[in-house]
Amino acid sequence: MAKRKVTITDIADEAGVSVPTVSRVVNGRDDVSPATRARVEELLDRHGYRRRGTSGSRAALLDLVFTDLDSPWAVEIIRGVEEVAHEAGVGTVVSAIHDRAGSARQWLTNLRARASDGVILVTSALGPGIQDELRRLGVPLVVVDPAGSSAPKEPTIGATNWAGGMAATEHLLELGHRRIGFIQGPPRLLCSRARLDGYRAALDAADVPADTALVVPGDFYHEAGFTGCNRLLNLPEPPTAVFAASDQMALGAIEALRRRGLRVPEDMSVVGFDDLPEVRWSAPPLTTVRQPLSEMGRLAAQMALDLARRVQPASPRMELATELVVRASTAPPREV
Amino acid sequence: MAKRKVTITDIADEAGVSVPTVSRVVNGRDDVSPATRARVEELLDRHGYRRRGTSGSRAALLDLVFTDLDSPWAVEIIRGVEEVAHEAGVGTVVSAIHDRAGSARQWLTNLRARASDGVILVTSALGPGIQDELRRLGVPLVVVDPAGSSAPKEPTIGATNWAGGMAATEHLLELGHRRIGFIQGPPRLLCSRARLDGYRAALDAADVPADTALVVPGDFYHEAGFTGCNRLLNLPEPPTAVFAASDQMALGAIEALRRRGLRVPEDMSVVGFDDLPEVRWSAPPLTTVRQPLSEMGRLAAQMALDLARRVQPASPRMELATELVVRASTAPPREV
């Protein structure tokens, strides 16, 4: 913001040291060389940076904004952002603006009153109008976008959804499955399309004909996995494995199988997508595609702190690698 | 804090209106009566409360502090705190101070630099030394304590662990179970003891003799539920139902049963404690004791905002009611 006070990131920029180093000096920690400390102290004094405890002083703040905080992966992103911000002596302000324009507007007003040093948006939590206002405020903005919801104007951190969809399908093919069901995510999200295309690409690469009857709609939520799995089981020739585009849908599929007395993985293999913490503990533990959510949060926080120092990111969009995590919900098909 | 700037809570106090009302005026929203707006505006000007956008202004902040952010219920508490804070135009700063004293000290330094208006500690996230420094700073402090870790010096919000332990056990007794296993929480936490005592009280009330072989140690984590359930299954006369003192241990117990080809609830009933979001989706959906975590967060935030207005809470410790949630993991025993 044009008129806002000098921040530790400004000081770090001018001193040519890292933000954590400045924060160590500000915080009176002793793990800084005397020469560096002297240089930073001099800059802090010259710019009148207010120290701890002096009335009216403020520490740097990063705003982390979600649509809602009921998403099971919110805490993963919060953890990543907080780790980097905490190390830099920066506070992480977590907000949920829901889908109400009034709520987003109040958040924006609070943000201006806080003179926040940067904003991390999780997916498209803000309407375009609000995003334009943010741009006018000049507050650095980074988008964390596991959903791949849109072509970004701001620096955006995503995950390799297409590669993840391909890896999950290849795993099932390597186990010997040929009829592999796919439960889709919401069609409006790019990540849904990317995961489906990854599934199809793996089938193509293995010369397995794609059967459109094996692709059923979904929305990432548990109920859709339950319903979608039942649809697949009711087919004249059901699949021997199901790849659900989210962990919640995979758990729904496992419940649908349990209700029919079918065992996972003996009777049907199930693969999810996300690697939510709880799927390590599902019965059976879920084979899934890991989204590096806390790493995405860490990178977003670092990028926002860099932008506050006017350091531009290497690329406007970065995708962190997804990774197949093989647990107990997949096995070779009965027929093999 | 003695020297800190006037906050919207101070203004609300003096104007005799609610914090949300002042925040609406500050935020320029139109849902305030002209008379109230005029009175609040006058106070804001007299106290020199800095408005949105003016350089160096700051909005009120609440600090929400966890030991770690990997706890599966952290997001539930964050959601509750953020709802109340957001409505009051207050930012929620989320921190994880881990168990490193240095980290807690840096957080305290950042807190002072932020001139935070209140602190909500989740369980005993801070060592006594840090808590004493907080007390000297005069920052209002509220403890959210699902674990019942200690007799509080500060206003503390807990849950009715004893009543929850009793309700879960009564549910199993009503289904006809007489041999009910119990997997304990960590003995150092009061909530573990309270849940165990609730279990014993229910058995006593039903004239069911307590068999000490049916009570096995645990620590709230998944692995302990897995191990504890196997211990119970290896008894000469195993129980027909297991009450685990946490949802994670209940999921571990379900996995132990699955590995032996035993079905839940046909072969063994399982009850958990917490009602984490994911246990609605476990296979089978888990019968458990709900901890009102987001409500605890809401109450803690309201209490911290009240304390910032020098309004003392009605009681130094409040326990919010736990509630039995019956799902698909419990049924009458085979024998009946």
Residues of chain A with pLDDT > 90, as a percent, come to 54
Question: How would residue A36 be classed by pLDDT, with cut points 50, 70 and 90?
Answer: confident
- CA-wise closest residue to B202 among B217, B182, B188, B232: B182
Summarised one tens digit per residue, pLDDT across range B102-145 is 788 888 888 888 888 999 998 766 777 777 888 888 889 999 98
Cβ-Cβ contacts under 8 Å, B114 against chain A: 58-59, 61, 91
Mean pLDDT in residue range A247-272 = 96
Q: Mean pLDDT across chain A, nearest whole number?
A: 86
Cβ-Cβ contacts under 8 Å, B115 against chain A: 55-58
Question: How would residue A269 be classed by pLDDT, with cut points 50, 70 and 90?
Answer: very high
Residue of B nearest to A112 (CA): B53
CB contact under 8 A, A27 and B222: no
Cα–Cα distance for residue pair B229/B252, rounded to 1 Å: 8
CB contact under 8 A, B251 and A283: yes
CA dihedral A277, A283, A289, A294 (to 10 degrees): 0
CB contact under 8 A, A72 and B278: yes
- Kindly report the nearest CA distance between residue A102 and chain B, in angstroms: 9
- Kindly report the nearest CA distance between residue A115 and chain B, in angstroms: 7
Residue of A nearest to B255 (CA): A283
Query: DSSP string spanning B143-187?
Result: EE-TT--S--SS-EEEE-HHHHHHHHHHHHHHTT--SEEEE---T
Mean pLDDT in residue range A180-198 = 93
| Cβ–Cβ under 8 Å, residues B30 and B86 | no
**Domains of chain A from N-terminus onward:** 8-47 (1.10.260.40), 61-159+293-318 (3.40.50.2300), 161-291 (3.40.50.2300)
Cα B154 vs. chain centroid, distance in angstroms?
Answer: 16
Summarised one tens digit per residue, pLDDT across range B269-321 is 999 999 988 899 899 999 999 999 999 999 999 999 999 888 888 788 888 99
* pTM score, whole prediction: 0.76
A293 Cβ contact list (under 8 Å, min separation 6): A73, A76, A77, A80, A146
pLDDT at B73: 81
Sign for the CA dihedral angle at A244, A250, A252, A258 comes to positive
Q: Point out the residues of chain B with pLDDT beneath 70.
A: 1-6, 26-30, 45, 48-59, 72, 99-101, 124-125, 146-152, 335-336
Backbone angles phi, psi at A64, to 5 degrees: -115, 115
- CA-wise closest residue to B244 among B214, B284, B207, B283: B214
Q: Say what angle helices B161-174 and B190-205 make with each other, to 10 degrees.
A: 40
pLDDT at A335: 63
| Cβ–Cβ under 8 Å, residues A272 and A287 | yes
Cα–Cα distance for residue pair A96/A78, rounded to 1 Å: 12
Say which of B3, B55, B82 has its CB closest to residue A95. Answer: B82
Residues of chain A with pLDDT > 70, as a percent, come to 88
| Cβ–Cβ under 8 Å, residues B292 and B268 | no
- For residue B287, the cross-strand partners are B271
CB contact under 8 A, B92 and A89: no
Cα–Cα distance for residue pair B64/B121, rounded to 1 Å: 6
Cα–Cα distance for residue pair B182/B232, rounded to 1 Å: 9
Cα–Cα distance for residue pair B258/B35, rounded to 1 Å: 66
CB burial readout B133-166, b (16+ within 10 A) else e: bbeebebbbbbbbbbbbeebebbbbbbbbbbbbb
pLDDT at B103: 81
Residue type, B141: L
Residue of B nearest to A264 (CA): B258
Cβ-Cβ contacts under 8 Å, B61 against chain A: 91, 93, 114
- Kindly report the nearest CA distance between residue A105 and chain B, in angstroms: 9
Mean pLDDT in residue range A119-148 = 81
- Kindly report the nearest CA distance between residue B237 and chain A, in angstroms: 25
Cα–Cα distance for residue pair A283/B255, rounded to 1 Å: 5
Cβ-Cβ contacts under 8 Å, A61 against chain B: 91, 93, 114
Q: Which range, of A35-49, A112-126, B67-81, B275-289, averages the lowest pLDDT?
A: A35-49
Highest mean pLDDT range out of A28-37, A298-307, B107-116? A298-307
